[in-house]
A and B are shown apart, each in its own frame.
Chain A
Amino acid sequence: GNSVTQMEGPVTLSEEAFLTINCTYTATGYPSLFWYVQYPGEGLQLLLKATKADDKGSNKGFEATYRKETTSFHLEKGSVQVSDSAVYFCALSPSGGSYIPTFGRGTSLIVHP
């Protein structure tokens, strides 16, 4: 079956530090890949997405590149802010007509001033 593995948190950084949150996946075919963000007390919302190999998704300074050869979709940001403190979920939507996504467990990010 499909699976998504994220690095465990919490990840604690100082403001303006570089962020990487690792995500690897297992799936057949060419799934679509997503990063969702959950702010405290809220539901998940889409941060960025990529639908084919070598696509780069980007939004709000965050980036992730769909690497088919390493089955990875690592999230990066060059300079984090306190307002980026949240839980980040990597997810895949399988190819082939099934719309049951697989989510990673989530990685909590805490950014200190």
Chain B
Amino acid sequence: NAGVTQTPKFRILKIGQSMTLQCAQDMNHNYMYWYRQDPGMGLKLIYYSVGAGITDKGEVPNGYNVSRSTTEDFPLRLELAAPSQTSVYFCASTQGDRVTLAKNIQYFGAGTRLSVL
């Protein structure tokens, strides 16, 4: 079971560079999310998607963009990297079920550790 796969695991960027963090899930989940985790600060939601073609902003979307062309993939784009974007990024997915609430477990990838210098 692959679950949620994130690539790359580590990356160092220079200020102003751009990159795409990849996320793929093989559970046919409707909902996908991008979070960033800063030390001692918990998780902050960047963007989320409720299905292919539909995305929306979370708590901290500035400096990021997303797209969702398929159910499986949800890439996160950093256009002009800044030191404030140094963080650990997690992608997650969930089924989104109104009836069986126990299905609304979030499944997380292993994370991408990004440093912007």
Contact = CB atoms under 8 A, between A and B. Distances in A.
A99 B94 contact: yes
Contact of B90 (A44, A93, A97, A101): A44
Contacts of A42: 110-111
Interface residues of B, number: 25
A14 to B, nearest CB: 24
A34 B104 CA distance: 10
Contact of A103 (B40, B42, B109): B42
Given A34-B105, A51-B101, A99-B104, A43 B111 contact: yes
Given A43-B108, A49-B105, A100 B42 contact: no
Nearest to B100: A51
A106 B42 contact: yes
Interface string B64-95: 00000000000000000000000000101010
A2 to B, nearest CB: 12
Contacts of A36: 106, 108
Interface residues of A, number: 22
A103 B102 contact: no
Contacts of B12: none
B98 A97 contact: yes
Interface of A: 32, 34, 36, 42-46, 49, 51, 89, 91, 93, 95, 97, 99-101, 103-106
Interface of B: 4, 31, 40-43, 45, 48, 50, 58, 90, 92, 94, 96, 98, 101-102, 104-111
Sort A-B residue pairs by CB-CB distance and give the 4 closest, nearest first: A43-B108, A105-B42, A51-B101, A99-B96
